Structures are given as structure tokens and as C-alpha cells.
Amino acid sequence: MAPRLALRFGGHLRRQQSAQSRAVGAFARHQQAQWPESSPEIRRMLHETLVVQEGSNQRPPPKHNPLGPAIFRPASLRLNLGTSIPLTIDGQEHPFNPILLRDLCSCPLCIDQSTRQKLFYSADIPADIQVSETYVKNGHFRFRWSVDAPGYGNDHVSSIPIEALERLLRTGMLDRAAPELPTRQYWTAETFDQETSDFSFDTYMNDDKALLKALRQLHTHGLMFVSGVPDDETSVEQLAERIGPLKTTFYGRTWDVRSVPDAKNVAYTAQNLGFHMDLMYMKQPPHLQLLHCIRSSSAGGASLFTDSFKAVEDLARTDLDSMATLSKVHIDYHYDHPGSQYYHRRRPVIEQRPLQRGRRTWPTYEALQRDPGVPNDGTKTKAALLEPMDFVASVAWSPPFQAPPRLRGFSPGIPASAPQLLSHRYNGWHEAARKFNQLIHRPKGIYERLMKPGECVIFDNRRVLHARSAFEVGDVGKERWLRGAYIDEDPFLSKLHVMGRQEMEAQ
């Protein structure tokens, strides 16, 4: 390209970009003025748009600040406005994309009124969809389209509740917000007794308020007991199905825990059974476990429970490197019985989830603690107030089912021999695991209960470690007998959400 032509083209391109920048900046100013105070992250995002688009003298926040790593980066933020339909809500005009409005239609032709499921594909909405008429009726915005999705005629009128769009402007969500879950609590044997309750079978089965209280206790502490359970093999199913469907495994819908000859699982012996979690060798281990005591032993057999999250919290406070190691190094678990069953899974002892505060995200608690932009001098920023509990999603600890290690993608001698690589992995991990093991075995953290016939324990299998002391084997037909069942996390959270929402609506 000739220099003069290139110069002209460059100038034209800069003028075009400048015009686009002014347009986006004007939109951002409008939205910044109108957006509710309850959306500070969005307001900050729009402010940064103005900084970039208009060349403001105000500089964006520094790379390291109390909010953490940036999610919205000013240089990459561009608003694709497209065409818009102005709607007046609470006396203010707001632009809405017509594709979005068509997708939100809740009329009977678009949403099945029985199943509440969509009857069309979002991808079928034409990119050039156009509205021909907009009006308000019975608390809904109504739209007629000159160009609509396939299968919809000119008589189709989209309907969107004004209340839903008001909620979108306030909270960023169209549907009703889920009830807030209660804060999870660390516990020791003493605090568990002080902070929790037992539930009678009749109350648990027939009183929804009591059931909601029980579910919340399972969320906050991960452990609860039901008393007065009938001496019946189906009772554990009734208790479980009050929450949700049972999880079927190769053990069946329900299963028995009692001493048997030639046992294939240490749980089916009279031996001491150390702290562990069930089915860590599966891709989706059960979330809740139920154990109904039908018959107790003549001596021994006490059930022991401890809060692994409390151990993680103490480890994080005293040895952050060990917490990081247990979060990074994956351990192999298996159930290997040739000719019948084989399961294998690798997972870290501590499974963390990333957390976002404002425009910043940290993948782990140790990343937060090592972020130089987060004050550690007691300053009460949102980030500085985060706890290890906020990051920990679950724990995986099941020594009886720990498998021999595997080296993924191993090539002999590259970058080192197998013994060298395994030694490197285990040197750090073993020390961290040893410290964690000491923490979960502290006497003050162990809740011990000699379960009586008619009692059932329900606990979070991804948080609460359970164990059993050795017991004497009784006469035939009189041996210690527990009947168990599992429930996945989704049914539990669904029940907690539905009952919490019902409580909110009843107030």
C-alpha cells in the first residue's frame, strides 16, 4: 500500500474507531447513571469503559488491589450493543436486545405451562428479528414481531413480566433469587453438642419445618441424628426419600453393615475401622450417607465422627504449604476385586473451588493469602475476610482404598526415572498428609456415639469423616447390624432450595 494511501486509511480507521468509542462511551455514561447502587461490579465495569473509551485522566485500579486478579480488563471490554428496543421501567428508559426479549417470551406457545420447559430453540431466533408493536398489558410487556422464529405466525405475541425485568435490573437475574444458604460452621465434639439437635423419626417424617431445620444442619455441620426409627429394614429408605431419591451403587439401593466371613470390605468385619469417606474411587461419590442402627453389639462398636473442614482450616492457619500440597497432588483410590468390580479415581485430599470478589478471582485459599494486593494486617476488606471454608468444596480421605500410584504420561527416564518422580511427589505429600492425619485424630475434634437400636445418623460424606471402634461379634442372629443408604448432592440441594423458598413465600 502506498504511504499516502496508508496514511489516509489509518486516519479514516482512527476516526471510525473514535466514533465507535464515543457511542460506546455515551451508552456507558447512560447506564452508569441509571444502574442501581446494588450492582457495584457493573458500575465499576462501566466506569472502566469510560476510562478506556474517553481517555479519562482517571487511571484504572492498579494491578494488585484488595479485590484480587482482574476479571474485567479495561483494554478488552467492548460492548456489542447491536440493535435495541427501549423499554421504560420504573420511570427510566433501558435498551434491550430484541433477540434477548424474544428468548424471554413466557407465553404458552413458548413455555409449556405444565412442565415449565421451553418449546423452541434460542438458536432458531432470526438474527434480524424485528419488533412491529410494543405495549403493556396485565403487568407484562407484549411484543409483536415482523420477523419471528420458524413456526410462529404473525398472531404470536411475546409476553414478559415487567416484574422479571425489574428484577434483572436490580440483581442481574430474571428468576427469583435462591434462598441464601446458612453459613457452614466448623465444629469440635463440644461445639457440635452445643450447636445442633437430634430429631425424632415422627417429627422428621411429618413436620416440614423440622425437616428444613435438619437439612440446614446437614449443610452447616454435615452431621445429624434421628431417634425412634422403627426396627424395619425399609426405615432407612423412608428417611432418605424424605430428602430425595437413593443413589444406587454396586452395593444396591440399601446395604447392610455387619460382620461376615471372608469379607470383601473392612466395614464387614469386627475390626477397628479408621476415619475415612465412602466410595472415593467413584467419579461421583455420594454426598449424604445414612446408617440406621437395627441391632447393636454387646461390647464396642462406637461410631466416631470428625469435621475434616476444621482440620483443613487449622492446617491452613499453621502450614499453608501443606494445604497447597494436599490441594494439588492427586491420590489414587480404587476398588479392585477381579471378576466382580473395578473402580479407580484420582483426586486431591482437599478439593477447592475458585472464589470471585468484585473484579478479582482466586483459584485457591493459598493464592488469596499470597496475593500482595490483599492486606493481611487485619484490614476488613471483603477479600481479607474470606476463610478457608469459603474455598473448600470437599475433602477426599479414604486410606483403606488408597491405590498404588500411577504416573500419567510417563516415559522412562524423561524427565527422570519412575522412582525419582514418585519420590518427588511423595516427599512433600507424605509430610502434609501426616499433619492432616494428626489433626483429624485430635481427641477434642472426635464426636463419639455408641448408636442404639432405633437411631440413624445422616452425614455429609464429602466433609465428615467416620470411623468405628472394634466390637465383639455376637451370636448368630444377634450381631451388630446397621443398614445404610446414599443420596447424591443434587437432590439434597434441590430439597433445601425448594423448602427454603417455600418458607420465604410463607412469611
Domain residue ranges in the chain: 21-75, 85-171, 189-306+447-506, 310-440
Which residues contact residue 187 at a Cβ distance below 8 angstroms, ignoring those fewer than 6 apart? 195, 196, 221, 307, 310
Residue 198 backbone phi and psi in degrees, to 5? -90, 160
pLDDT in tens, 402-420: 998 877 656 666 666 777 7
C-alpha distance from residue 378 to each of 40, 383, 386, 480 (Å): 24, 11, 12, 52
pLDDT means per 10 residues in the chain (507 residues)? 41 44 46 42 42 39 39 43 84 93 94 94 94 94 94 93 92 79 94 97 98 98 98 96 97 85 52 89 98 81 94 96 96 91 96 89 93 73 81 97 79 69 81 97 96 97 91 59 96 96 88
Work out the burial of residue 46: count CB atoms within 10 Å of its CB; fewer than 13 is exposed, 13-18 middle, 19 or more buried. buried
pLDDT score, position 59: 39
CATH class given for the domain over 85-171: alpha beta
C-alpha distance from residue 2 to each of 9, 15, 17, 126, 129 (Å): 10, 20, 22, 42, 42
pLDDT score, position 262: 52
pLDDT in tens, 157-171: 999 999 999 999 988
Report the C-alpha gap between 470 and 491 in whole angstroms.
34
pLDDT score, position 9: 38
pLDDT score, position 79: 53
% of the chain with per-residue pLDDT over 70: 75
Work out the burial of residue 237: count CB atoms within 10 Å of its CB; fewer than 13 is exposed, 13-18 middle, 19 or more buried. middle
pLDDT score, position 377: 62
Cβ atoms of 233 and 483 within 8 Å: the answer is yes
pLDDT score, position 333: 97
C-alpha distance from residue 364 to each of 86, 323, 327, 331, 332 (Å): 42, 10, 9, 19, 22
Please check whether the two domains, 85-171 and 189-306+447-506, share a CATH topology: no
List the grid coordinates of 389. 471454608
This prediction has a pTM of 0.77
Cβ atoms of 273 and 349 within 8 Å: the answer is no
pLDDT score, position 33: 44
Q: Options 3.60.130.10, 1.10.620.20, 3.20.20.120, 3.40.50.150; which CATH number does 189-306+447-506 get?
A: 3.60.130.10
With cell 482517571, the residue in question is 58
Helix (DSSP H) and strand (DSSP E) numbers for the chain: 14, 21
